[in-house]
Structure 1
Amino acid sequence: MSNGSLASYLLRNPRPSWYRRTEIAFGTARGLAYLHEECSNLIIHCDIKPQNILLDDSLTARISDFGLAKLLDKDQTRTLTEVRGTRGYVAPEWLIGKKPITVKVDVYSFGILLLELICCRRKVEQDLEDEKQKVLADWAYYCYEEGKLHLLVQEDEGAMEDINRMLEGTVEVPYPPVNLYSSA
């Protein structure tokens, strides 16, 4: 792909525009929806991360590297498999034990990717002085708990202009989390 991977595009200077990042997020989400809902067989990618999102001439997101993907029959919604994927993008329920995997593993990975797109940074930044900010998912959760989501995008004019849309997209998450292994 002419514009390389999202990993290199995301961290360039100057940072990609907020509009372009949201378009990439939507494109990736559409790709996952296709794999999970529209294919004749369900495909669980198992390794959604910026390095596996390629950008074409129009900066349209294309999911790549299906080397770890699992192909399921249409009536099959989960499968048992060994843990696959890249550290930091692997869903916690998959790490806990030999539980069947579902499309939720891709949704979790997409969530981490989405945070990277929103904040225009890597999932882990060891060089940051503030310990709370080093792991992006932890920092985002801290900002959510404190009612300070604006801190995630404070140096991004386009994102700050669109902060209300980001705030409206939040929902209450029950804590402790619901049973991730229920049959429902």
Structure 2
Amino acid sequence: MLSVIIPTAGVEQPTVATLAALVPGAAAGLIREVLLVDGTRNGVIERVADVAGCRFIGFEGPHGAALAAGALQARSPWLMFLHAGAVLESGWIDETTQFIQNVSASGKPRAGVFRYARSPYASAGLGDALRFLARIVRPQGDQGLLIARDHYDRLGGYPPHVRRSEARLLRRLGRSSRTLLRSRIVKMA
């Protein structure tokens, strides 16, 4: 039902944290496959993918190229994009399933963005508080994206060689076809 695409930066710990949060979704049958996309060529993420039973995809280029490469290789009708280090909190499985069912039944293309939660390790400064509030008003790419493959393709997907490709896709989605999900995502790294 769902392919999860995780662009990584060749670092094991944040990738493993994200994978651990996805295990219940795989056990529930929601997640069909997880694709770890990495361009560092250091072999770390390739080993993590092998141990975790994920697909590894190597790529060259900027962050948008990683997202586009993962989407191109994904085999499910629904795509979930998460950054390495993004940890979904409890409740995401039921909400994701409900969202997919509702969108499929309505026939109206929509994408879901997870609610941002401050990391317990975040500083308590004013700048951090302002960034937190800004994410509520204007979601960022590191909040995760849940979208039907056909809707993603109609929008043109993530442009592989464009700076801030995540922001560009979110702008193309617009507020009217984007739902802020109740489930929260914490960025651990």
TM more than 0.5: no
Structure of higher CA gyration radius: 1
Taking structure 2 as the reference length, the TM-score comes to 0.26
Higher relative contact order (CA 8 A, sep 6+): 2
Q: Which has the higher strand share?
A: 2
